[in-house]
């Protein structure tokens, strides 16, 4: 579970600028909007469309635990969670900047692993690394990623456009990332008591992948474009379905009804939830880190939207902002409450 104990090359061996040159040498620019990337005082970009910008800060011990998180996976994830926000605006990610603060316990090899994951994500999402910074930290690792995207003005989707009778849709399945985290924490607790005890993880591969190396849903954005569907509102599910849906309702001035038996929960998630005495519905509603898309569309687009593989219609928007309910199979209405991640 712990980091590899192999000998590491001290970061001071390369120095700040040498380290930057070393870790960025394999990154190539692919977007025509990128005029100048890494290597100067600032990047230069040329945009013809509207610009969408988002940033995330990930701190060791708060957002990730290196006891069970491979650095390569972490590098990939820190890019994926940022471009997910760009996709949630119905925009296309183009560039990222990455800044990393590192304590002396990390060596050059660790940074190489982190940036190998970053490069994999850059290649997959077709984004250019155009800048960033490296600095020292007294404790642990902190990563800051900024993602920049573009979109035509009439294609951008905000949280504030949901209307009465719109369908509420989600992509993929929910709750798996949360169960993956619970399994990792359980095995870490066992390992802490006995370092000779090997973690039992083979049957949880899907859940672990959802937690450690999630994918942003660029495929859904592409399919919506092909189907000529522009959602009326959209956001990604980072803090839990309940939280995100309540954000849409607040920004749009509407309410919502979602149906418990329509929530997409994979069998792997159900099995792990039952094993750990966790209600899978609660995991789906409040677990977070799924990085699926939550969006609303006009009701007359029902046939087109359900034809997109991986999209589920889970409810509808109602006029009254005070009506935010999940409906049980017994037709019981339960108030929707946000219990996901709360930022400090």
Q: Cα-Cα-Cα-Cα dihedral of 184, 187, 188, 194, to 10°? A: -170
> Distance between CA 170 and CA 174 in Å, rounded?
9
| Complete domains list, the chain, with CATH | 11-151 (3.30.1330.10), 159-335 (3.90.650.10)
Q: What is the block-wise mean pLDDT of the chain (344 residues), using blocks of 10 residues? A: 61 64 78 87 92 96 94 98 98 97 92 96 97 90 98 97 98 98 92 75 94 97 98 97 97 98 97 96 95 98 98 98 96 88 42
Q: Which residues of 295-313 are buried (b: 16+ CB within 10 A; e: fewer)?
A: bbbbeebeebbeebeebbb
> Distance between CA 144 and CA 46 in Å, rounded?
23
Distance of CA 265 to the CA centre of its chain: 18
Q: Do the bridges between strand 255-259 and strand 311-318 make them parallel or antiparallel, or are there none, so unpaired?
A: antiparallel
Q: Is the dihedral of CA 125, 154, 229, 252 positive or negative?
A: positive
Instruction: Output the pLDDT for position 160.
Output: 97
Angle at CA of residue 341, ends 246 and 134, nearest 5°: 125
Burial, 316: exposed, middle or buried (Cβ in 10 Å; 0-12, 13-18, 19+)? Answer: middle
Q: What are phi and psi of 208, to 5 degrees?
A: -70, -40
Instruction: Output the pLDDT for position 145.
Output: 98
Q: Cα-Cα-Cα-Cα dihedral of 6, 9, 12, 14, to 10°? A: -150
Q: Determine contact, residues 58/140, Cβ cutoff 8 Å.
A: no
Burial, 55: exposed, middle or buried (Cβ in 10 Å; 0-12, 13-18, 19+)? Answer: middle
Q: Determine contact, residues 149/91, Cβ cutoff 8 Å.
A: yes
Tokens at residue 58, please?
């990930």
Q: Write out pLDDT tens, residues 185-223.
A: 999 988 788 777 777 788 999 999 999 999 999 999 999
Instruction: Output the pLDDT for position 208.
Output: 97
Instruction: Output the pLDDT for position 198.
Output: 73
Q: Which residues contact 52 (CB under 8 A, 6 or more apart)?
A: 86, 89, 91, 148, 149, 150, 151, 156
pTM, to two decimals = 0.91
């Amino acid at each position: 579970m712990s980091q590899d104990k192999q000998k590491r090359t001290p970061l001071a061996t390369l120095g700040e600028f040498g380290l930057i040159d070393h870790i960025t040498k394999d990154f190539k620019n692919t977007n025509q909007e990128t005029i100048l990337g890494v290597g100067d005082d600032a990047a230069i970009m040329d945009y013809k469309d509207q610009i969408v910008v988002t940033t995330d800060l990930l701190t060791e011990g708060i957002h990730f635990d290196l006891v069970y998180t491979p650095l390569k996976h972490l590098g990939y994830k820190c890019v994926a969670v940022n471009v997910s926000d760009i996709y949630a605006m119905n925009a296309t990610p183009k560039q990222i900047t990455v800044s990393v603060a590192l304590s002396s316990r990390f060596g050059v090899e660790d940074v190489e692993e982190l940036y190998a994951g970053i490069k994999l994500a850059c290649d997959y999402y077709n984004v250019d690394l155009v800048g960033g910074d490296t600095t020292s930290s007294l404790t642990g690792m902190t990563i800051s990623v900024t993602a920049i995207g573009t979109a035509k003005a009439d294609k951008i989707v905000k949280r504030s456009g949901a209307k009465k009778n719109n369908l509420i849709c989600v992509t993929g399945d929910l709750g798996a990332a949360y169960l993956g985290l619970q399994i990792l924490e359980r095995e870490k607790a066992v390992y802490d008591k006995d370092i000779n005890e090997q973690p039992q993880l083979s049957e949880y591969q899907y859940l672990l992948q959802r937690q450690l190396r999630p994918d942003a849903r660029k495929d859904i954005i592409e399919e919506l474009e092909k189907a000529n569907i522009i959602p009326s509102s959209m956001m990604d599910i980072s803090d839990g379905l309940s939280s995100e849906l309540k954000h849409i309702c607040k920004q749009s001035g509407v309410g919502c009804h979602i149906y418990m038996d329509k929530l997409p929960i994979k069998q792997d998630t159900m099995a792990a939830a039952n094993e750990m005495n966790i209600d899978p519905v609660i995991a789906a509603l409040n677990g977070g880190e799924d990085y699926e898309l939550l969006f609303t569309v006009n009701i007359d687009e029902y046939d087109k939207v359900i034809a997109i593989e991986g999209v589920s219609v889970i409810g509808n928007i109602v006029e009254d902002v005070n009506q935010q309910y999940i409906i049980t199979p017994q037709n019981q209405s339960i108030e929707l409450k946000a219990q996901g991640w709360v930022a400090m």
